[in-house]
Amino acid sequence: MAVTTSNVFGKISISDSAIAKVAKNAALECYGIVDTVSRRFTDTLHELFKRPVGKGIKVITSGDRIFIDVYVIIKYGVSINAVAESLKESVKYKVERFTGMIVDTVNVHIIGVKL
């Protein structure tokens, strides 16, 4: 799927993989985030055989709305709540700025902690 908008000059279509790349970069820039990780073991196998686009990012689009799930490993000793809120705000802001669309939700899934 992709989000699509149009204006007097034409139609703009942004793929989910492009949105996932922006979301991943925004997530990795946040303090306390070590890496994004795959959701399931089958996703890891898929990444071995194909080029990973947005590892640890799931993007669902519906009309002009965007729903994002982020799967991350955080640094030990940081406040989980503070890091998760910062991550949500950063991803939402950067994806909205990139696409011009509304990010409805950003769900943060903490898969692990790294020392």
For 4-29, the pLDDT digits (tens) are: 877 788 888 888 889 999 999 999 99
Model pLDDT for residues 83-102, shown as the tens digit of each residue: 999 999 999 999 999 988 88
Percent of the chain with pLDDT over 90: 54
Q: Is the pLDDT of residue 43 over 80?
A: no
pLDDT at 71: 94
DSSP per-residue codes, 39-65: SSHHHHHHHHHS--SSTTEEEEEETTE
For 2-6+14-114, CATH gives 3.30.70.1350
CB neighbourhood size of 66 (10 A): 24
Domain assignments of the chain as residue spans, ordered by start: 2-6+14-114
The answer for 75, left when phi > 0, alpha when psi is -120 to 50, beta otherwise, is: beta
Instruction: Name the more confident of 39 and 14.
Output: 14
Q: pTM (2 decimals)?
A: 0.82
Mean pLDDT of the chain: 85
